[in-house]
Structures are given as C-alpha cells and as structure tokens.
Amino acid sequence: MVGTISTYITFKENTAEALKHWQEVFGGELNLLSYGQATLEALPFDPPADALAHGVLTLDNGGLISGGDSIEGQLPIRDTAYSMLYNAESVEDGRARIDKIVAAGGEETMKFEQAPWGGSYGQVFDKFGVMWSISAD
C-alpha cells in the first residue's frame, strides 16, 4: 500500500454540516458516523449521541476530507496559516466552485485570476471560516 495524505478537520458541533456543504460544492460520496451509531467501548469522555465521531467525504477526483466534532471545545478555524487547496479541472470549474462557496455565505478574499506561474489562482473563505485556495492550470 502506498501512503497518502488527506485532510482531517474538526469543528465544535457542526463538522457534519461542513462536510455536507463541501459535498454540495465539490461533489463526492459522504459517509457520516455519529457517536450514537458507533459501537465503541469505553471512551475517556462522554460525547453527545448526535455528535459526529467520524465523517469522510470522498471526492470524485480521489481526494478525501475527513473530520469529527470536537467534544472538548472550539478550536480556532479562520486563519491564513493553512488552506484547503482545490485543483480545478479548468478555469471555469475553479470560478464555479468559488461562486458556490460565496453564494452559501463565503467571502472571496483574493480574486481568482492569472497567477505569476501561469495558471489561475484565488482564495475564498467559506461560511465555516476555512480558507480554500483554488488553482487551475
């Protein structure tokens, strides 16, 4: 088996909502497992039954975004020290993804246009505070 890297993100109470939103924007298959559905033995904490234990969005292009709810408090989300990078199939595809994120309450913070390296690039924060870097060759 070849090792891979994928994204795992945690929100306090709405990770499932974020994964559902990203499925609407990027497509793919979504699997969600709440703590109430999980068959777990003893845990070092007492999670609410409806909290997300584990979710996986398998994108049509093979990428993965996974996540679960933070039980012990809110973590800082909005920052520019990291971003999710989406490599669009085309400039039109990149523009369409940004438009979907903005239409759902996001904010385009760097205009999607030709970059110095020749492709197109832009940045948008979604309604959950996650920065998406969108790139297209």
Count of C-beta atoms within a 10 Å radius of residue 71: 17
Structure tokens at 10: 């945690």
Model pTM? 0.86
Structure tokens at 81: 């020290």
**What local confidence, expressed as pLDDT, does residue 74 receive?**
64
CATH class of 84-136: alpha beta
Structure tokens at 86: 């989406």
Q: What is the pLDDT of residues 5-41, one digit of tens each?
A: 789 999 988 999 999 999 999 999 999 999 989 877 7
Length in residues, the chain: 137
Q: What is the pLDDT of residues 54-86, one digit of tens each?
A: 999 999 888 899 999 988 766 777 777 788 999
Say yes or no to pLDDT of 92 above 90.
Answer: yes
At residue 1 the predicted structure's pLDDT band, cuts being 50, 70 and 90, is low
Range list for CATH 3.10.180.10 in the chain: 84-136
**What local confidence, expressed as pLDDT, does residue 120 receive?**
96
